[in-house]
Copies of this chain bind each other. A is one copy, B any other.
Amino acid sequence: MSSRANARPTMRDVAQVAGVSLKTVSRVINGEAGVADPTAARVARAIAAIGFQRNDLAASLRHGRSSGTLGLVIEDVANPFYSVIAQAVESAARARGLMLITASAREDPHREHELVAAMLRRRVDALLIVPVGGDHRYVAQGAGRVPAVFLDRPPEQVDADRVLIENAAGARRAVEHLLEHGHERIAVVSDAPELYTTRERLAGYRAGLRAASVGDRSALVRAGNRTAVQAQVAVTELLTLPPRERPTAILTANNRNTVGALRALAGRRRRPSLVGFDDFELADVLGVTVVRSDPALLGASAARLAFGRLDGEDGPPRHLEVPAELVARGSGELAA
């Protein structure tokens, strides 16, 4: 009988039903050696009879070491770029027997901090973070801190394990590609300039133009478009510039901006060339040239770094970079 009616059965309940001691039940559950077969069978029967299931929280409290969970703080699970990362991290976690706690910070530094704190209180074994901004020293501080790996963007005010994408090089490659096709008035439509990825991609864009001795194009830089709708507006505006200021090519600096640009361009007869940063589903069907990286590799690498730390790998923070390659599909190969 349960100590209290309707409560989840405990090992004590199992022990009582099986007529053995607590420790014997523990042995059977954890598959430890040293239990006579008939005894083990009696315990197993009791477990099945009362529907016992071990309380992992209590177990991990007892031995202190692992809670069996991995924490992932991303920007937004609904964004395909991040959902692929989440998928890769989940696979890695599962391979190691960890469950994944996921939360979206939504570009809010305060919220990010809160989520990290909540995960630490829940004693995650390690943290994977797509940092928003602000000061990240809080992650490195405090006794008994947990391995933390930053994805997609570096932490601020502190050095730590991280996996980034070839942002500047990728953007520069896109610009060079457009230059090769005769474009000189190349516009760029990007997310908020405070974001690391935006800054790097803009830097790559500028470096590409500079290397080709193309003059200042700051009038064609449209940053600050957080949503597809904002990007759509920005592109529409670019298209209504007077002919000799109007860009003949556009670089969209992330997937949401690309989506907005495609909406702005839909149905137009004469379209500018377009290269998007980040690949997306159906880019092949739409014939959109993109700079493609591998979000799944990003997530998997970050997990690998974190697991390495869990396995005792010591040493200075590691910096990994995932390559970005240009995939020509038509939209980026239109003549100027």
Interface residues of A (CB under 8 A from B): 2, 6-9, 50-51, 53-58, 60-61, 64, 67-69, 76-78, 80, 83-84, 86-87, 90, 94, 99-104, 117-123, 141-144, 259, 262-263, 266, 280-282, 284-286
Chain B residues near A286 (CB, 8 Å)? 282, 285-286
- 23 examples of A-B residue contacts, CB within 8 angstroms: A7-B64, A7-B144, A55-B61, A57-B57, A57-B61, A57-B67, A58-B61, A68-B122, A69-B122, A76-B87, A77-B77, A77-B86, A77-B90, A78-B84, A80-B83, A83-B83, A100-B101, A101-B101, A102-B102, A259-B281, A263-B285, A266-B284, A266-B285
Q: Main SS of chain A's interface residues? A: mixed
Among the listed B54, B100, B123, B262, which residue makes an inter-chain contact with A103, where contact means beta carbons less than 8 Å apart?
B100
Residue of B nearest to A71 (CB): B99
How many Å lie between the Cα of A91 and that of B76 in the bound state?
Answer: 11
How many Å lie between the Cα of A61 and that of B282 in the bound state?
Answer: 48
Chain B residues near A122 (CB, 8 Å)? 56-57, 68-69, 99
Chain B residues near A103 (CB, 8 Å)? 90, 94, 99-100
Chain B residues near A86 (CB, 8 Å)? 77-78, 83, 102
Residue of B nearest to A121 (CB): B56
6 tightest A-B CB contacts, nearest first: A8-B144, A51-B142, A83-B83, A78-B87, A56-B121, A266-B285
Closest chain B CB from A46 CB (angstroms): 13
How many Å lie between the Cα of A101 and that of B67 in the bound state?
Answer: 13
Closest chain B CB from A108 CB (angstroms): 12
Closest chain B CB from A64 CB (angstroms): 8
How many Å lie between the Cα of A144 and that of B263 in the bound state?
Answer: 52
Most buried by B among A68, A266, A282: A282
Residue of B nearest to A82 (CB): B83
Most buried by B among A57, A61, A69, A80: A57
How many Å lie between the Cα of A159 and that of B280 in the bound state?
Answer: 39
| A87, B99: Cβ atoms closer than 8 Å | no
Chain B residues near A117 (CB, 8 Å)? 53
With A86-B77, A121-B53 in contact, do A144 and B102 touch (Cβ < 8 Å)?
Answer: no
How many Å lie between the Cα of A122 and that of B281 in the bound state?
Answer: 36
Chain B residues near A67 (CB, 8 Å)? 57
Residue of B nearest to A123 (CB): B57
Closest chain B CB from A52 CB (angstroms): 8
| A6, B143: Cβ atoms closer than 8 Å | yes
Among the listed B54, B99, B119, B259, which residue makes an inter-chain contact with A282, where contact means beta carbons less than 8 Å apart?
B259
| Apart from A51-B143, A56-B121, A101-B101: 17 A-B pairs, beta carbons within 8 A | A6-B144, A8-B144, A53-B142, A56-B118, A56-B123, A57-B67, A69-B101, A76-B87, A77-B77, A78-B86, A99-B103, A100-B102, A262-B282, A266-B284, A280-B281, A280-B282, A282-B286
